[in-house]
Amino acid sequence: MSDLNKGIALVTGASSGIGAIYADRLAKRGYDLILVARNGERLSALASRIGAETGRKVETVVADLGAQADLAKVEAVLKGDRNITLLVNNAGVGGTAPLLSADVDKMQQMIDLNVTALMRLTYAAVPGFVARGGGAIINIASIVAIAPEILNGVYGGTKAFVLAFSQSLKHELTDKNIRVQAVLPGATATEFWSIAGMPVEHLPGEIVMSAEAMVDASLKGFDQGEFATIPALEDSALLQAHEDARQAMMPHLSRSVPAARYGV
């Protein structure tokens, strides 16, 4: 437990799974909390437990981030509370159905939550961070951001957005003392899987991490200054090679003439 006061962390999707573990760990690191999700009962129970265990102040905001009016309510909290120093964009839903057999309205709802809400909450938080000289954003992406073949393709697309958006945020905000981390979990033992259509018990145990281990590793990655954190990836040189290839291509991607191999 920490005596430090690090300001307030606002955690979305804190009523269960990964978000609830972030809430617990961040309180133990000295943050007060604002916890956001739809299930008010679960949020209140978690807030009471964490408050009692850590002595930190824990507030809850019941909101459906896929609904415009509720999303605006949380944006207003981020714009108005000058003590917020960390935004954890964690709320999200997935899908396991193949792209073309998935219900398109559900796909749209997934984009509303995983992309639109995350983007709007970031826009609501960042100007205050800049004005106050610092802050941090942890965006929960997924390994499907770089491996969209594994699950539903729209889900992969939403998480690729989270990674690309985070890369751009890091590029634009690092010199303003704003830390940005993108977390790319592999399969993690939460309700996510049953909601997405495949209970986690159906996955081979050796590819599933506990939410506790996933969050603890990601927070260590944050402490170590990582931008992209893939908790399960043993050989970090592979991620570096991926990034090196991206950086090597960057100066060559836009030219007045097509590449010679097209013979134009």
Does 95 interact with ligand NAP (rule: CB under 6 A)? no
Residue of 31, 60, 84, 92 interacting with ligand NAP (CB under 6 A): 92
Q: At closest approach, how far in Å is the CB of 198 from ligand NAP?
A: 10
Q: At closest approach, how far in Å is the CB of 195 from ligand NAP?
A: 5
Between CA 116 and CA 68 the distance in angstroms is 10
Between CA 142 and CA 94 the distance in angstroms is 10
Does 125 interact with ligand NAP (rule: CB under 6 A)? no
Site map (CB under 6 A) of ligand NAP, residues 126-155, x = contact: --------------x-x-------------
Does 37 interact with ligand NAP (rule: CB under 6 A)? yes
Is 123 noted as a catalytic residue in this protein? no
Residue of 60, 188, 218, 229 interacting with ligand NAP (CB under 6 A): 188
Between CA 17 and CA 257 the distance in angstroms is 50
Site for ligand NAP in 227-246 (CB under 6 A): none
Q: At closest approach, how far in Å is the CB of 176 from ligand NAP?
A: 26
Site map (CB under 6 A) of ligand NAP, residues 96-115, x = contact: -----------------x--
Q: At closest approach, how far in Å is the CB of 102 from ligand NAP?
A: 15
Between CA 112 and CA 120 the distance in angstroms is 10
Contacts of 191-195 with C-beta under 8 Å, sequence gap 24+, read 191/16, 191/17, 192/17, 192/93, 192/94, 193/94, 193/96, 195/93, 195/94
Exactly one of 22, 31, 123, 155 is catalytic; which is it?
155
Strand partners, 62: 37
Site for ligand NAP in 42-71 (CB under 6 A): 42, 63-66
Task: Please name the residue that has the structure tokens 């509720």.
Answer: 70
Q: Which backbone phi and psi does 196 adopt, to 5 degrees?
A: -80, -5
- What distances in angstroms separate CA 152 from CA 25, 94, 99, 101, one per listed residue? 30, 8, 6, 10
Residue 102's SS3 state is coil
Q: At closest approach, how far in Å is the CB of 235 from ligand NAP?
A: 20
Alpha carbons within 13 A on the beta-carbon side of 250 = 7
- The residues that are catalytic are 155
Residue ranges that bind ligand NAP, judged by CB under 6 A: 13-19, 37-39, 42, 63-66, 90-94, 113, 140, 142, 185, 187-188, 190-192, 195
